[in-house]
Chain A
Amino acid sequence: MKLRKHLLAGLAFAFLASTAQAETLRWGSPRDIFSLDPYSYGSTSNLAFLNHVYEGLTRYTPEFVVEPALATNWELVSEKVWRFHLRKGVKFQNGADFTADDVVASMARVSHPTSPLRGNIPAYVSTTKVDDYTVDIEVNTPSPLFLNDMTNIFMFDKDWLIENKSELPTDVGGKVEGYTTYHTNGTGPFIVESRVPDSKTVLVKNNGWWDTPKHNLDRIEFTPITSAATRVAALLSGEIDLTDGAPVQDLDRLKSDPNIKVVERSDLRTIHLVFNRKDKLNDGRDNFFNDIKVRQAIDHAIDRQLIFKRVMRGKSHVAGTMVAPEIPGYSAELDVPTAYDPELSKKLLEEAGAVGTEFTLVCMNDESVNEEDVCSALVSMLSRVGLKPTLDIGPRAVQAPKRAGGKSDAYMIGWANEPTLDAYSLLIQVLSTREGAAGVANYGGWSYPELDAMVKKAAVEMDRDKRLAIETEALKFAKDQVIMIPLHQQPMAWAMSKEVTDVTIRADNKPRHWLTRIGD
Chain B
Amino acid sequence: MTDQAQETPSTAKIGRLARWRQSDLWWSFTRSPSAIAGALILTLLILAALAAPLISPQNPFDPAQLDLWNSELPPIWQADGQWPFILGTDTQGRDMLSAILYGSRISILIGVCSVILSLTVGLSLGLVAGYFGGIVDNVLMRIGDVLLSIPTILIAILVSAVARQMLPPELRDVGSAAVLVLAITLSAWVQYARTVRAQTIVERGKEYVQAARLLKTPARRIMLNHILPNTLTPIMVAATLNFGMAILTEATLSFLGIGMPPSQPSLGTLIRLGNQFLFSGVWWVVLFPVLQLCLLVVSVNLLGDWLRDALNPKLR
Report which A residues bind B (CB closer than 8 A).
227-229, 232-233, 236, 247, 249-250, 252-253, 283, 303, 306-307, 310-311, 358, 360, 365, 372-373, 376-377, 379-381, 383-384, 389-393, 398
> Does B138 belong to the interface (CB within 8 Å)?
no
The reply to whether A391 and B64 contact each other, CB–CB distance below 8 Å, is no
Contact with A along B60-79 (1 / 0, CB 8 A): 00111011110110000000
Give the segment of B11-19, B150-158, B165-173, B244-252 that binds chain A.
Answer: B165-173
User: Measured between C-beta atoms, what is the minimum distance from A97 to chain B in Å?
Assistant: 49
- Give A229's nearest chain B residue, CB to CB: B278
User: Measured between C-beta atoms, what is the minimum distance from A361 to chain B in Å?
Assistant: 10
User: Measured between C-beta atoms, what is the minimum distance from B109 to chain A in Å?
Assistant: 21
Kindly identify which residue among B262, B280, B281 contacts A393, using a CB–CB cutoff of 8 Å. B262
- Give B164's nearest chain A residue, CB to CB: A394
Contacts of B62 in A (CB 8 A): 383
The reply to whether B169 and A392 contact each other, CB–CB distance below 8 Å, is yes
User: Among the interface residues A229, A233, A376, A398, which one has the most CB atoms of the partner chain B within 10 A?
Assistant: A376
Place the interface of chain B in its size category: 20 to 34
The reply to whether A383 and B92 contact each other, CB–CB distance below 8 Å, is no
Contacts of A398 in B (CB 8 A): 165
Contacts of A232 in B (CB 8 A): 278-279
User: Measured between C-beta atoms, what is the minimum distance from A14 to chain B in Å?
Assistant: 36
The reply to whether A311 and B68 contact each other, CB–CB distance below 8 Å, is yes
The reply to whether B68 and A377 contact each other, CB–CB distance below 8 Å, is yes
| Known contacts A310-B68, A383-B62, A390-B173; is-contact A373 B279 (Cβ 8 Å) | no
Q: How far is the CA of A347 from the CA of B201 in the complex (A)?
A: 71
Contacts of A228 in B (CB 8 A): 276
Kindly identify which residue among B67, B279, B281 contacts A380, using a CB–CB cutoff of 8 Å. B67
> Does B263 belong to the interface (CB within 8 Å)?
yes
The reply to whether A376 and B63 contact each other, CB–CB distance below 8 Å, is yes
The reply to whether B72 and A310 contact each other, CB–CB distance below 8 Å, is yes
> Does B29 belong to the interface (CB within 8 Å)?
no
Q: How far is the CA of A306 from the CA of B68 in the complex (A)?
A: 7
The reply to whether B64 and A229 contact each other, CB–CB distance below 8 Å, is no
The reply to whether A380 and B64 contact each other, CB–CB distance below 8 Å, is yes
Contacts of B71 in A (CB 8 A): 310
The reply to whether B277 and A249 contact each other, CB–CB distance below 8 Å, is yes
> Does B82 belong to the interface (CB within 8 Å)?
no
User: Among the interface residues B66, B172, B275, B276, which one has the most CB atoms of the partner chain A within 10 A?
Assistant: B276
Kindly identify which residue among A249, A376, A384 contacts B280, using a CB–CB cutoff of 8 Å. A249
> Does B32 belong to the interface (CB within 8 Å)?
no
Q: How far is the CA of A11 from the CA of B294 in the complex (A)?
A: 45
Contacts of B273 in A (CB 8 A): 372
Contacts of A392 in B (CB 8 A): 169, 172
| Known contacts A229-B278, A310-B68, A380-B64; is-contact A393 B261 (Cβ 8 Å) | yes
> Does B28 belong to the interface (CB within 8 Å)?
no
> Does B91 belong to the interface (CB within 8 Å)?
yes
The reply to whether A229 and B68 contact each other, CB–CB distance below 8 Å, is no
The reply to whether A379 and B263 contact each other, CB–CB distance below 8 Å, is yes
The reply to whether B281 and A253 contact each other, CB–CB distance below 8 Å, is yes
User: Measured between C-beta atoms, what is the minimum distance from A314 to chain B in Å?
Assistant: 13
Contact with A along B265-298 (1 / 0, CB 8 A): 0000000010111111100000000000000000
User: Measured between C-beta atoms, what is the minimum distance from A69 to chain B in Å?
Assistant: 39
User: Measured between C-beta atoms, what is the minimum distance from B177 to chain A in Å?
Assistant: 15
The reply to whether B170 and A360 contact each other, CB–CB distance below 8 Å, is yes
Q: How far is the CA of A233 from the CA of B278 in the complex (A)?
A: 10
* Beyond known contacts A249-B91, A252-B281, A380-B66: 8 more, CB 8 A cutoff: A228-B276, A247-B276, A253-B279, A283-B170, A311-B68, A373-B91, A376-B263, A392-B169
13 A-B residue pairs with CB within 8 Å: A227-B275, A229-B275, A229-B276, A253-B279, A283-B170, A310-B68, A310-B91, A373-B91, A380-B63, A380-B67, A390-B172, A390-B173, A391-B261
Contacts of B67 in A (CB 8 A): 380
Contacts of B173 in A (CB 8 A): 390
